[in-house]
């Protein structure tokens, strides 16, 4: 019976395991809101924590997921502070910069309490899959508010309760799923029991959804809106998590059903045998009745000898009846034999035989590690150490000795690699891998997935062999007894036939067919029943025998995985060392040099001189008094041919630099120091973006006056591609900033080039003017490809918008993962290819993120793309969350280009779109982007239903 006085209505904030959770009393809602507002006002200007924090004192901390302030206590201090958020129950590691002092009015008691179901204990370790499943089950079960009947408070403050979700007893549901054990003081048994016996009434409150803002750490409810990380989760997300758990449980149920199907087949065979026994019992009773009738005939024959003719008639009738009975008995005997033979060929034996065969394959045919493998590891360590020393060298004087030492170590490594490759080539690694995979799949299909946690012991195979021998002996003994009993029954049947056969020479008396017949039938029945009870399949064994088979199965699976890991290691090392051997053969007679690069540079210098001279000649022809158009056109063709040849050589120069950079990062780290004139370091540090051979005078460029309001832009052609040159006026300091920022943008994109859609505009080259203080960034030219131009000409459809904005989100995800805030996401800086691929354009590499974020171009129609927090406080550095606000505004603008609404009247300055009718999934996504705090990240945006439903 629940105690109404001790009943609380609480909102769950954090789940620890299947029976333990943190929650807040709903009566504290106003207090929670007041604390949150006070923290938001005071924490940004509060003093930072100095020295060692007091574990009893309450501090303020920034939660990493939503960047909001919450109250906490410091549990432990290492490199970071391990804090516990006292109003929610979860923990996190934060840096000193994220921890501040709180005034006295915020040193109140914590608003979250730790609850535990009374009499419950978790039945597994925290790291086990069963523990995590129980935790996830409870997370999805206690969605929103729950009713808690307080029973007891422990010394550590934990409140022991009974909890209800509406009329649903949560503890009973946890027990049903076997995620916990129920124990009461003084109870002599442990296990699931009905909690209904412990209560007489149900929770008076209906189930409701409660949104708790607050930090959450590991183990938070994935689908609950209660205390989620930095944003409110929808019921659909909770349902999705519940469906995932249901799907997993359904899979386990399918496996159980397959096992039960085999057991039912065996049970069906047993039922058939038992039916045969029942028929035998009926035959026994009929035979007993016949014996009594035969005795009566004997008396009548002695007393009525004068009625022999009548007796002969009666005997003939009796003979026919016995023959019919004998035929029925033989038919039943054949059916019993057939059923016994079928039972002896039960699939359970096949499972055992398969396991035995698998053990022999895995143990007897295993492949050991090559002898040279251990030496190879040591040789590689020595070689890597020698290479690091060469790479770290700063002077040529020390470089010679380091290279000599490296070459000696390389020689040892080369010899060891050769030995290893010879050994590895003799091993049937691929065939063995296929065989192990086949055996593993076969065993998994028979016995289910194997758990690799813990070691079952080295005696597992020996115990399994002993069990198999004992089972074989027992089965053979039982079958022999059954055969003897059935044979005796057949002999009795033959004697009955001889007794009633008047022409037989052998005399069989009545006693021979009557005496002992009951004993024969009973013996046959007992032996058949005993064979039926004999364990013929793995599923019918007792606990000891089941453990022997299970241990052997898990042991052989551990051997398989161990050998597979070794074989994969051998294959990986074989490929790596084969590549190394090829490199060593290439540079065995001569070390790599940049001679090819120098030759290309020499041709480039010559072509540049030719280009400049022909340009001078062209200018002279155009300024001459006797203007010759034919000669001028001929000279232009020569200039164009020379320019194309020059650009081709510059392309060859970049290829040579790529080869030398790969060698410097691999087997020849000494190249940059040996050949400083090649300037390999410059190419490597910029990721191949900087091209020093380029100059503005080389290009036949057309100024783009309509787009040159902010910086000079020219359109030209480079290596057969139309490109734009963006000019930045730079001094020595600005040149370094441009180089750093362009390299960062370029590396971020090239690291994702393996993906089909990187979502970022490529940077083709960076070079600095030799005759002017300008830095030029080369990008592809997409005529009318900006999002602004596309919308002005032919607006994107709804499906096209999804595809384009998915690409933009991917670009932002890549930048944010590299620690870069774009801060300039506007319609002129987003590009659209073929109306289905969106890309984030490059930003102004001269301006800082703060300058870019408040630029006048940050608008889309009448919508400001500047995040509310940047408009509130001037000079605030933009964050990735600011980019996501701009992204949300762009997405809204694409669906409502004529929107002319106002910002909300509050101080948050967030965009108010409540009056615009939008599709439900789009509305839900925008509600998580166009907020002041807790916005979705780029990765979370890509995982939203708005984008997933279109795939």
3-state SS, one letter per residue, for 617-675: HHHHHHHCCCCCHHHHHHHHHHHHHHHHHHHHHHHHHHHHHHHHHHHHHCCCCCHHHHC
C-alpha span between 34 and 363 (Å, rounded): 68
What pLDDT score does 307 carry? 52
- The confidence band for 606, taking pLDDT boundaries of 50, 70 and 90, is very high
Q: What mean pLDDT do residues 647-666 have?
A: 91
Around 368, how many Cα atoms within 13 Å sit in the side-chain half-sphere? 5
Which value, in Å, is the radius of gyration of the alpha carbons in the chain? 43
Range with the poorest average pLDDT among 215-224, 250-259, 791-800: 215-224
What percentage of the chain has pLDDT greater than the value 70? 75
C-alpha span between 182 and 190 (Å, rounded): 6
C-alpha span between 551 and 447 (Å, rounded): 12
Using DSSP's 3-state secondary structure scheme, residue 266 falls into helix
What pLDDT score does 912 carry? 80
Q: Which residues of 240-273 are buried (b: 16+ CB within 10 A; e: fewer)?
A: ebbeebeeeeeeeeeeeeeeeebeeebeebbebb
Q: How far is CA 596 from CA 437, 646, 660, in A?
A: 49, 16, 10
Q: Which residues of 407-444 are buried (b: 16+ CB within 10 A; e: fewer)?
A: eebbeebbebbebbbebbeebebeebbeebeebbeebe
Query: Structural domain boundaries of the chain?
Result: 4-243, 349-367+431-590, 371-426, 595-780, 787-948
- The confidence band for 429, taking pLDDT boundaries of 50, 70 and 90, is confident
C-alpha span between 101 and 84 (Å, rounded): 15
On average, the pLDDT of the chain sits at 79
Q: What mean pLDDT do residues 586-614 have?
A: 88
Is residue 694 over pLDDT 80?
Answer: yes
**Helices within 448-504 (DSSP H only):** 460-499
The CATH label, of 3.40.640.10, 2.30.30.140, 1.20.1090.10, 3.10.310.10, for the domain at 4-243 is: 2.30.30.140
Q: What mean pLDDT do residues 23-34 have?
A: 88
C-alpha span between 30 and 394 (Å, rounded): 65
Rounded to 10 degrees, what is the CA torsion of 800, 806, 811, 815? 150
pLDDT in tens, 145-175: 788 777 788 888 888 888 888 778 888 888 8
Range with the poorest average pLDDT among 66-80, 280-294, 507-521, 579-593: 507-521
Range with the poorest average pLDDT among 478-492, 517-531, 585-599, 794-808: 517-531
277 contacts 288 by C-beta, under 8 angstroms: no
Is residue 187 over pLDDT 50?
Answer: no
Using DSSP's 3-state secondary structure scheme, residue 908 falls into coil
What pLDDT score does 199 carry? 40
Q: Which two tokens stand for residue 866?
A: 């500047």
Residue 576, φ and ψ in degrees, nearest 5? -60, -45
The CATH label, of 3.60.40.10, 3.30.1180.20, 3.40.50.10860, 1.10.510.10, for the domain at 787-948 is: 1.10.510.10
Residue with the larger pLDDT of the pair 306 and 847? 847
Q: Which two tokens stand for residue 233?
A: 């989760």
What pLDDT score does 226 carry? 35
Asked, colleague to colleague, whether 595-780 and 787-948 share their fold, the answer is no
- The confidence band for 206, taking pLDDT boundaries of 50, 70 and 90, is very low
- The confidence band for 623, taking pLDDT boundaries of 50, 70 and 90, is confident
Sort 684 into a burial class: Cβ within 10 Å, 0-12 / 13-18 / 19+.
Answer: middle
pLDDT in tens, 824-872: 999 999 999 999 999 999 999 999 999 999 888 899 988 999 999 998 8
* DSSP code of residue 131: H
Q: What mean pLDDT do residues 697-707 have?
A: 84
Q: Which residues contact 398 (CB under 8 A, 6 or more apart)?
A: none
pLDDT in tens, 919-943: 999 999 999 999 988 999 999 999 9
* Residue at token pair 């859609």: 757
Return the closest-CA partner of residue 242 out of 165, 133, 169, 125. Answer: 133
Percentages helix, strand, coil for the chain (3-state, rounded to 5) are 55, 15, 30
Q: Which two tokens stand for residue 803?
A: 């595809």
**Ramachandran bin of 876, using left for φ above 0, alpha for ψ from -120 to 50, beta for the remaining angles:** beta
790 contacts 831 by C-beta, under 8 angstroms: no
What pLDDT score does 643 carry? 94
Is this prediction's pTM over 0.75?
Answer: no
Listing DSSP states for 555-590 in one string gives HHHHHHHHHHHHHHHHHHHHHHHHHHHHHHHHTSSS
pLDDT in tens, 104-148: 888 888 889 999 988 888 866 777 788 888 888 888 888 667 887
What pLDDT score does 849 carry? 93
C-alpha span between 805 and 812 (Å, rounded): 10
Q: What mean pLDDT do residues 178-195 have?
A: 55
What CATH class has 595-780? Answer: alpha beta
**Top mean-pLDDT range of 229-233, 624-628, 708-712:** 624-628
What pLDDT score does 205 carry? 32
What pLDDT score does 321 carry? 55
What pLDDT score does 315 carry? 52
Sort 863 into a burial class: Cβ within 10 Å, 0-12 / 13-18 / 19+.
Answer: buried
* DSSP code of residue 761: P
Around 464, how many Cα atoms within 13 Å sit in the side-chain half-sphere? 26
What pLDDT score does 231 carry? 30
What pLDDT score does 50 carry? 87
Range with the poorest average pLDDT among 639-643, 685-689, 883-887, 904-908: 904-908
Please provide the distance, in angstroms rounded to a whole number, between the alpha carbons at the two ends of the chain: 52
Around 645, how many Cα atoms within 13 Å sit in the side-chain half-sphere? 16
C-alpha span between 710 and 25 (Å, rounded): 58
**Helices within 761-899 (DSSP H only):** 787-793, 798-817, 849-853, 868-872, 880-895
143 contacts 226 by C-beta, under 8 angstroms: yes
Is residue 184 over pLDDT 60?
Answer: no
- The confidence band for 530, taking pLDDT boundaries of 50, 70 and 90, is low
- The confidence band for 581, taking pLDDT boundaries of 50, 70 and 90, is confident
Residue with the larger pLDDT of the pair 355 and 650? 650
Q: How far is CA 573 from CA 251, 372, 569, 638, in A?
A: 38, 12, 6, 54
Is residue 773 over pLDDT 80?
Answer: yes
**Ramachandran bin of 408, using left for φ above 0, alpha for ψ from -120 to 50, beta for the remaining angles:** alpha
- The confidence band for 6, taking pLDDT boundaries of 50, 70 and 90, is confident
Is residue 500 over pLDDT 70?
Answer: no
- The confidence band for 453, taking pLDDT boundaries of 50, 70 and 90, is low
């Amino acid at each position: 019976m629940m105690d109404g006085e001790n009943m609380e209505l609480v909102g769950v904030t954090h789940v620890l395991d299947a029976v333990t959770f943190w929650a807040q009393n709903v009566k504290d809602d106003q207090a929670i809101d007041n604390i949150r507002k006070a923290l938001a006002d005071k924490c940004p200007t509060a003093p930072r924590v100095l020295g060692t924090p007091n574990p009893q004192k309450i501090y303020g901390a920034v939660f990493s997921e939503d960047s909001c302030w919450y109250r906490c206590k410091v549990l432990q201090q290492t490199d970071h502070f391990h804090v516990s958020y006292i109003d929610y129950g979860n923990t996190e590691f934060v840096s000193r910069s994220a921890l501040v002092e709180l005034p006295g009015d915020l040193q109140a008691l914590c608003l979250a309490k730790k609850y535990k179901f009374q009499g419950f204990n978790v039945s597994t370790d925290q790291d086990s899959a069963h523990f995590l499943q129980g935790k996830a089950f409870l997370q999805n079960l206690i969605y929103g508010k729950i009713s808690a009947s307080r029973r007891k408070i422990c010394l550590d403050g934990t409140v022991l309760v009974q909890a209800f979700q509406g009329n649903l007893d949560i503890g009973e549901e946890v027990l049903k799923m076997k995620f916990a054990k129920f124990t009461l003081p003084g109870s002599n048994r442990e296990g699931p029991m009905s909690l209904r016996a412990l209560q007489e009434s149900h929770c008076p409150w209906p189930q409701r959804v409660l949104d708790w803002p607050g930090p959450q750490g590991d183990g938070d409810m994935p689908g609950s809106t209660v205390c989620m990380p930095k944003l409110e989760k929808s019921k659909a997300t909770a349902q999705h998590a519940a469906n995932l758990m249901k799907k997993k449980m359904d899979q386990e149920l399918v496996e159980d059903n397959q096992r039960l199907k085999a057991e039912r087949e065996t049970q069906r065979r047993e039922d058939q045998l038992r039916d045969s026994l029942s028929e035998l019992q009926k035959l026994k009773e009929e035979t007993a009745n016949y014996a009594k009738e035969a005795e009566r005939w004997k008396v009548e024959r002695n007393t009525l000898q004068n009625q022999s003719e009548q007796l002969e008639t009666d005997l003939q009738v009796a003979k026919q009846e016995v023959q019919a009975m004998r035929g029925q008995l033989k038919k039943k005997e054949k059916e019993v034999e057939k059923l016994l033979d079928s039972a002896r060929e039960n699939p359970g034996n096949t499972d055992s035989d398969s396991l035995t065969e698998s053990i022999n394959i895995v143990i007897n045919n295993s492949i050991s590690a090559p002898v040279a493998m251990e030496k190879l590891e040591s040789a590689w360590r020595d070689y890597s150490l020698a290479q690091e020393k060469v790479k770290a060298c700063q002077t040529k004087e020390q470089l010679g000795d380091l290279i000599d030492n490296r070459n000696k170590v390389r020689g040892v490594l080369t010899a060891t690699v050769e030995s290893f490759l010879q050994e590895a080539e003799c091993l049937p690694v691929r065939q063995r891998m296929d065989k192990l995979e086949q055996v593993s799949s076969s065993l998994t299909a028979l016995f289910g997935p194997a758990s690799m946690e813990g070691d079952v012991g080295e005696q597992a195979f020996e115990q399994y062999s002993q069990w198999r021998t004992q089972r074989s002996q027992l089965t053979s003994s039982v079958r022999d007894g059954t055969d003897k009993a059935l044979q005796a029954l057949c002999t009795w049947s033959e004697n009955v036939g001889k007794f009633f056969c008047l022409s037989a020479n052998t005399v069989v008396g009545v006693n021979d067919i009557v005496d002992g017949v009951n004993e024969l039938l009973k013996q046959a029945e007992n032996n058949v029943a005993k064979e039926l009870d004999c364990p013929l399949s793995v599923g019918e064994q007792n606990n000891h025998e089941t453990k022997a088979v299970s241990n052997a199965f898990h042991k052989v699976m551990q051997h398989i995985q161990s050998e597979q890991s070794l074989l994969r290691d051998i294959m990986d090392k074989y490929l790596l060392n084969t590549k190394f051997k090829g490199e060593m053969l290439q540079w065995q007679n001569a070390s790599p040099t940049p001679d090819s690069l120098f030759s290309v540079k020499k041709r480039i210098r010559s072509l540049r001189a030719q280009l400049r001279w022909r340009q001078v000649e062209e200018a002279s022809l155009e300024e001459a008094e006797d203007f010759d158009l034919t000669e001028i056109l001929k000279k232009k063709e020569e200039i164009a041919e020379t320019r194309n040849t020059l650009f081709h050589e510059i392309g060859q120069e970049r290829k040579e630099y790529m080869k030398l950079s790969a060698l410097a990062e691999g087997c020849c780290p000494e190249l940059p120091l040996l050949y400083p004139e090649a300037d390999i370091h410059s190419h490597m540090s910029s990721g191949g973006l900087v091209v020093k051979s380029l100059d503005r005078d080389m290009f036949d460029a057309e100024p783009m006056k309509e787009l040159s309001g902010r910086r000079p832009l020219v359109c030209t052609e480079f290596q057969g591609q139309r490109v734009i040159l963006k000019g930045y006026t730079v001094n020595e300091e600005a040149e370094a900033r441009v180089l750093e920022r362009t390299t960062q943008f370029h590396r971020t994109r090239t690291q994702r080039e393996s993906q089909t859609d990187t979502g970022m505009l490529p940077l083709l080259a960076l070079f600095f003017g030799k005759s002017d203080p300008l830095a030029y960034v080369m990008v592809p030219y997409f005529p009318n490809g900006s999002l602004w131009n596309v919308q002005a000409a032919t607006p994107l459809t709804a499906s096209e918008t999804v595809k384009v904005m998915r690409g933009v989100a991917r670009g932002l995800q890549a930048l944010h993962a590299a620690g870069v805030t774009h801060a300039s996401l506007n319609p002129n800086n987003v590009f659209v290819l073929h109306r289905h691929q969106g890309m984030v354009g490059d930003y102004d590499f001269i301006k800082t993120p703060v300058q870019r974020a408040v630029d006048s171009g940050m608008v889309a129609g009448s919508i400001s793309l500047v995040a509310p927090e940047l408009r509130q406080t001037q000079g605030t550095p933009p964050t990735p969350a600011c980019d996501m606000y701009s992204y949300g505004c762009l997405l809204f603008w694409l669906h409502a280009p004529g929107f002319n609404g106002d910002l909300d009247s509050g101080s948050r300055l967030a965009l108010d779109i409540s009056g615009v009718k939008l599709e439900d999934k789009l509305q839900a996504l925008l509600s998580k982007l166009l907020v002041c705090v807790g916005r979705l990240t780029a990765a979370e945006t890509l995982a939203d239903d708005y984008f997933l439903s279109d795939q």
